[in-house]
Structure 1
Amino acid sequence: MKNLLKVTSLSLAALLLASCAGTSEADSEIGTVDANEQHPEFADMSHDELVEAAEEEGEVVVYAFTSRIATVAEEFGAAYPQIDIVAHDISSSEQIERLRSEHDAGAETADVAYVSDAPVVWNELLSDGVLQRYVPERVEDELDDQYKDPLLTNRLSTKVLMYNEEANPDGAPVENLWELTEDKWASKVVMVDPTQRGDYLDLLTEMVLRADEMAAAYEEHFGEPIELDEGNENAGYQYIADLYANDVILLSSTDDVNEAVGATGQEDAPVGFTSYSDRRDNEEEGWALQVANEAAPGPGIIFPAMLGITAEAENQAAARLLIDFMMGDDSENGGPAYEPFYVAGDYPTRNDIVDPEDALPREEFPAWEISPEDSAGLRDDVNDFILTVE
C-alpha cells in the first residue's frame, strides 16, 4: 500500500453535527478510561506485533491542535509507509466540540486526539469516556504521574508575555504585569480574545487563582496594598478589569499577535501574550519575538498538550502506534518523531529528553503550571466576568 498523507484544516462551522445536542460541563467526577483495559488484546503486544496489526488496519486518523502535525505526519509516513495517516489541523476548542458531537452521534471519525485546553477536556471528554488514556510502556517510567494520568502529556506548551527584542535590545520593557494597566501601555497590549480561545481563558483564570501573588506584585510595583473595586473579588479579577480598561487589543489568532508584537522594523512595538515556542519562526517570518521571562509575578502559564484514543476508534493498533511515535524515540532529543516539538518554549514531559540547547531550562522558567482541575472549577466564572468588563 502506498502511504497516503493528508493534512486538512477544519473550521467550527464544518464541525457541528445536526444530530448533536448542546454540550455542557459534566457534573460527574473526572474519571479515566484506560484504552488497554477496554481492548486487552493490545496490552501485551510487542512493538513488532503492534506494527503488524497497524499495517493490517492500514490507516490512522488524528485531530491535532497544532499545524506541526503536518511534520509529524510526514515523519510517521516515512517510518510506516504501509499506514495511511490522515491528519486534521483543528484548534482545541473546535476539536473538543467535534469529538463531543461525533461521540454523542455515534459517528466518531478520529482515532487519536492531540489536544490542549485541559480544563475543558477534563469536564467534557474524560468524564464520559470520549477520550481514553494510552501510555506506551516504552516511555511510562520516564514520565511523572501527572503526565500520564488522566491522559498522556507529550509536552508542555505556554501562553506568556512576549516582546520585540529588536525594538528593546536591552531586554524586556516590562518587569511587572501591573505595568500593562498603566497609561504607557494603553492600546499596546495584544492577545487573542479569551472568551474565544481556551488557553487564553486559562491564562486569566490562573491570575485569579494566583490572586495572592498578583496582590503582592501590585504592592511591589505601586508601593501600596491593592484596593479592590466593587465587584472584584480579588487581585486577579482586579487585574483583568484594569487590563481591559486600558484598552487591551483582542486579535483573532496567535499568528496575528506574533505579527503585531514581533514584526521587525518597529520602534515602539506592543507587547502581547502568545506562545514562547513561536520564537522558532522568528527567522522565517521576520519576527523578533522574545519572552519577558522576569515579569512579576510570572510571565504567564504552562499547560499540557495531551494525547488520547477516541472511545470507538476504528484503528486501535495504528492509534497506539501513532501515540508511541509522537512520544519520540529513545535518543536524548526524541529524534525525528519529536523534532517538531523540540524547540525552545516547549518542554518535554519525558525525563530522559533534555531541553533544547537554546531553551530556558524548565526549572528556571517562572511561568505558572496550571492545575486543570482547579481551572475547570473557575473558568466559567472568569469568562462571565470578562464579558462584564470588555
Structure 2
Amino acid sequence: MKSIAAAACGAMLIAAPALADDMSMADLVAAAEAEGTVTVYSFTSRVFKVESAFEEAYPNIDLVPFDISSTEQIARITAELEAGIASADVAYLADAAIVVGALVEPGHLTGYVPPAFADRIPDNFEAPLMAHRLSTKVLMYNEEAHPDGPPVDNLWALTTDDWRGRVIMVDPSTRGDYLDLLTEIVLQSDAMAAAYEAQFGIPIELDDGIANAGEQFVADLMANDVVFVSSTDDVNAAVGAIGQENPPIGFTSYSDRRDNEEEGWALQVANDVAPAPGIIYPAFLGILENAPNPNAAKLLITFMMGDDSETGGPALAPFYVAGDYLTRTDIPPHPDAIPLDGFNAWRIAPEATGAARQDVADLVLSLQ
C-alpha cells in the first residue's frame, strides 16, 4: 500500500478516456485489468476490508486505499487538482453539505450509478452523486453501565451539572460531520426550544448575541465543558469501554457498535432522546476528475454496491452492520438495527446545512 506522501506525488493530469455507457461487464473488467490499478480516498477505514475482497475478486487489479476524512479529502482533492496532479480515481466521502458545491459543481467529482443497480437505488440517492449508504452522528451511551436504557432522555440534560465535563465529541472545527451535527441542531431550533421547555418546565431565554434555541444549546454545551477529542475512536473508547461505573456520554457513529465485542465496548444509541439523537446523512461514491484509471474506478464502484446474494456479499459485508443503512432497496435491513423508519435522527438537508454551517463554525470558534 502506498503512503499518503507517495499519493501526493501521483500522476500528472491526463485526459481521461471516455467511458462507454453501453460497455458490458466483461468489457469493463477487461478495460479495468488493462489499467491494472485503482486508488480510492475513503472516509472510513473499512475500505481496507473492501481492498481484500476486491483483490480476491479481481487479482489483476491493485486497489490502493487511503483512509482520509471527508474534510481532508475535499481539501486534498482541490489542492491536487489545482496543482495539476491526479492521484486518485474514486472518492468515498460524506460531508454532503459541502461536497456538492466544493467538488461536484466544479466538475472535480462525477457521479456514477452502475447499470446493474440503477433500478435498485431510489432516485433521490442517485444524483448528484450516488449514495452508497446512510451514516450517522448520534448520541451514544454505555449500555453495560445503563442496562435499563440511556441515562438521559433529552439533549438539554447534557447542559446540566450532572454532565459537566462528561459529554464527548470530535472537535467540530476539524471534522465536517460533527459540524453538520451542531448545524442541524441550530436548524432545528423550534424543536430544541420545545425540548428545553420539556426538560426545564419553562420557556427558553436566549443569552445576548444568541439567535435561537439551537445556538443556545451549543453555547450551553460548551459552557458545560464538553470534551473535544481528535477522533471518533477516542469518543467510542471513552464512552463505551466496559467496566466503568460512571461513564461519559458522547456523539459518535451508531455503526461503531459493530466493534463492541472486539474492542471491549458497550456502545448503544440513545434513539429516543428528545428531540432527536443526532443526524443521518449519505455517504457518497464518485469518480474524480481526470482519474488515471476511470474504468477500474467504475468497476470498483460497481463492486462496492455488492452482489446478488441476500446481504450483498463480501463487498458489502463491512457495511451490512447495525447502524448503517444501505441504499439498495433489495437488501433487507440488518436484523440488529433499529429500522430506518423508527430511527429518530434528523435527516440533513445538504443545501440548508451548507448555507448555515459557516455561521455555526464561527459560533463554536467564538465560544472556545
Cα deviations across residues 314-370 of structure 1 (Å, max 9, x unaligned)? 111100000001111122311111000000010001111111111111111000111
Matched with 1:309 is: 287
1:223 correspondence with 2:201:
yes
- In the alignment, the residues of structure 2 paired with residue 131 and residue 352 of structure 1 have an alpha-carbon distance, to the nearest angstrom, of 27
Structure 1 residues 66-85: aligned runs within 5 Å: 66-85=44-63
Give the distance between the partners of 2:86 and 2:113, measured in 1 at CA. 21
SS of the residue 2:86 aligns to:
coil
Work out whether 1:245 is the aligned partner of 2:223: yes
- Is the 1:16–1:101 Cα contact (8 Å) retained in structure 2? no
2:345 to 356, 360, 367: 367
Once residues 251 and 238 of structure 2 are traced to their aligned partners in structure 1, the CA distance between those partners, rounded to angstroms, is 11
Q: What code does the residue aligned with 1:137 have?
A: P
Aligned pairs for 1:117-196 (under 5 A) are 117-196=95-174
1:39 deviates by 6.1
Q: Aligned pairs, how many? A: 363
> Counterpart of 2:85 in 1: which secondary structure?
coil
- The match for 1:296 is 274
Match of 1:3 in 2: none
Give 1:1-390 correspondences, 5 Å limit: 6=1, 10=4, 41-390=19-368
Cα displacement string for residues 258-281 of structure 1 (whole angstroms, at most 9, x for unaligned residues): 010001110000000001111111
State, as a whole percentage, how many aligned pairs show the same letter. Answer: 60
- How much is the aligned-residue C-alpha RMSD, in angstroms? 1.7
1:7 and 1:149 map into 2 onto residues whose CA distance is 31
**1:123, distance to aligned residue in structure 2 (A):** 2.1
- Closer, same or farther: CA 15–260 of 1 in aligned 2, 3 Å: farther
How many angstroms apart in 2 are the aligned matches of 1:260 and 1:287? 9
Q: Offset at 1:306?
A: 0.5
Alpha-carbon distance in structure 1 between the residues aligned to 2:290 and 2:18: 15
TM-score by length of 2: 0.96
Contact kept, 8 Å, 2:9 with 2:85, in 1: the verdict is no
- Counterpart-to-counterpart distance in 2, 1:84 and 1:196: 31
* Partners of 1:42 and 1:317 within 8 A in 2: no
Unmatched 5+ stretches in structure 2: 11-15
Q: Which residue of 1 aligns with 2:13?
A: none
Is this contact kept in 2: 1:164–1:271, CA < 8 A? yes
Task: Tell whether the 8 Å contact from 2:19 to 2:295 is kept in structure 1 after alignment.
Answer: no
The residue aligned with 1:29 is none
Superposition TM-score, scaled by structure 1 size: 0.90
> Following the alignment from structure 1 to structure 2, what is the Cα–Cα distance between the partners of residues 332 and 100?
38
By how many angstroms is 1:147 displaced? 0.9
Aligned partners of 1:333 and 1:119: how far apart in 2? 29
Change (3 A) 1:83 1:159: same
Amino acid at match of 1:80: Y
